[in-house]
Amino acid sequence: MVALLDFWAGKRVLITGHTGFKGSWLALWLQARGARVAGFALAPPAGPSLWKLLALEQEIVHFCGDVRDSAALQGAFEQTRPEIVLHLAAQSLVQASYRDPLCTYSTNVMGTVHVLEAARRVPGVRVLLNVTSDKCYENREWAYSYRENDALGGHDPYSSSKGCSELVTAAYRDSFLAAMNIAVATARAGNVIGGGDWAADRLIPDFVRAAAGRAAVQIRNPRAIRPWQHVLEPLHGYLCLAEKLWHEGQTHADAWNFGPPAEDVAPVENVVSTLVSLWGDGLRWDRDSLGHPHEAHVLKLDSSKSRTLLGWRSRLPLHAALEWTVGWYKRQAAGAAARTLCMDQIRQYEELARL
């Protein structure tokens, strides 16, 4: 971990989607470790925003733009000349993908094309990591944990678009970027939780909003099984992978899973019950009786490859991840600064990784 963090000092890094939940945590972590961070993303939505609370806009090079705008994106590449590109920008919600599939595909597929094309046209990029999703696999609703060489697919537009993004990335790597000595990989993480997420149609933000209004939490699919992990877990994986790509190039230019161990793959109702217990204040949950579009019932990731070849593994058991998450929101609501809360947890996580 010490060597990993030292690696980032002085590196020119461009993060797409840096104003989102995961992107904000990642930008803060890299900026704190001495990287020369630039970000290209949409402005955060109205309402609570981790990006706004962290107040990083004056400390990194901040471009407000849409990855569907290839000229604007290439301009950001030309101005910053990144050595490492971490592509997180996406339409990231399953329910939203049903409402607006055109936006989902244009952002997640053509947005990825624009990132890869900018890396091809602007000199200086050595590493490019495309963060996709655990939902990129063709989900057959089985107990088997998906491996990186399993079929890609997706029932809903979001999942399908992430499978397409994987295929686009592989095609650009094989057709153009490998020959240019740009090491390109994709990363597939589990269901990420942590403080600072206020997105619509996600379990933790829905829970926090219900708690603030002292209402019952409405759960769409209580028996759906998901691979839960704290946000710092996959981010650590991305950092490990990017360093390997830098030092070893095409050896690690491939697809990688970053999911929790089997004991942390749990039904939604178990997670909600733990959240209710940790939160207290008489909070409760009910099943949402409204009809909703299809979502996968069972989803598990096999991360053996990352553990074996990258030395990456989960550090926070699910209960601890939920404790960290609830603690973050409760302390932030009581007046603690979001930046202090995030940096405290980053330092705690770094210490766990050292051990």
DSSP 53-100: HHT-TTTSEEEE--TT-HHHHHHHHHHH--SEEEE------HHHHHH-
How distant, in Å, are the alpha carbons of 328, 330, 332, 342, 347 from that of 336?
9, 9, 5, 10, 17
242-246, 253-257, 271-275, 327-331 — which is least confidently predicted? 271-275
Give the pLDDT score at 295.
59
Give the pLDDT score at 140.
83
How distant, in Å, are the alpha carbons of 23, 201, 213 from that of 283?
30, 19, 10
Q: 11 vs 221, which has greater pLDDT?
A: 11
Give the pLDDT score at 259.
95
Encode burial over 43-53: b for 16+ CB neighbours within 10 A, e otherwise: ebeeebbbbeb
The token duo for 43 is 């402005």
- Residue pair 181/124 in contact (Cβ under 8 Å)? The answer is no
Percent of the chain at pLDDT exceeding 70: 95
Comparing CA positions, the residue from 241, 227, 40 lying closest to residue 145 is 227
Give the pLDDT score at 168.
98
Close Cβ partners of 267 (under 8 Å, ≥ 6 residues apart): 222, 223, 224, 225
Site of tokens 């030092």:
247
Comparing CA positions, the residue from 228, 235, 241, 230 lying closest to residue 305 is 241
Comparing CA positions, the residue from 174, 315, 317 lying closest to residue 255 is 174
Between CA 54 and CA 337 the distance in angstroms is 8
* Cα 77-83-86 angle, rounded to 5 deg: 75
Total length of the chain = 355
Is the pLDDT at 162 greater than 70? The verdict is yes
Mean pLDDT on 344-348: 97
Helices 232-248 and 338-354 sit at what angle, rounded to 10 degrees? Answer: 60
Give the pLDDT score at 1.
53
Neighbour-count burial of 84, counting CB atoms closer than 10 A to its CB (0-12 exposed, 13-18 middle, 19+ buried): buried
Is the pLDDT at 69 greater than 90? The verdict is yes
Q: Is 154 left (phi over 0), alpha (psi -120 to 50) or beta?
A: left
Chain centroid to CA 27: how far?
A: 12
Between CA 73 and CA 193 the distance in angstroms is 29
Give the pLDDT score at 181.
97
Dihedral over alpha carbons 257, 260, 266, 269 (to 10 degrees):
-100
- Is residue 147 classed as helix, strand or coil in its secondary structure? coil
Give the pLDDT score at 155.
87
Is the pLDDT at 265 greater than 70? The verdict is yes
Q: Side chain identity at 88, as an amino acid letter? A: L
Is the pLDDT at 292 greater than 60? The verdict is no
Q: Side chain identity at 113, as an amino acid letter? A: V
Quick: pLDDT tens for 34-58: 999 999 999 998 889 999 999 999 8
Mean pLDDT on 305-331: 96
Mean pLDDT on 76-99: 95
Is the pLDDT at 353 greater than 90? The verdict is no
Across all residues in the chain, what is the average pLDDT? 92
pLDDT category of residue 291 using cuts at 50, 70 and 90? low
Quick: pLDDT tens for 101-137: 999 999 999 999 999 999 999 999 999 999 999 999 9
Quick: pLDDT tens for 190-200: 889 999 999 88
Q: 341 vs 271, which has greater pLDDT?
A: 341
- Residue pair 14/86 in contact (Cβ under 8 Å)? The answer is yes
Backbone angles phi, psi at 65, to 5 degrees: -165, 175
Is the pLDDT at 207 greater than 90? The verdict is no
Is the pLDDT at 344 greater than 70? The verdict is yes
Quick: pLDDT tens for 23-32: 999 999 999 9
**DSSP H or E segment with residue 248:** helix 232-248
Q: What spatial distance separates the first Cα and last Cα of the chain, rounded to whole Å?
A: 9
pLDDT category of residue 258 using cuts at 50, 70 and 90? very high
Show the domains of the chain with their CATH numbers: 2-354 (3.40.50.720)
pLDDT category of residue 22 using cuts at 50, 70 and 90? very high
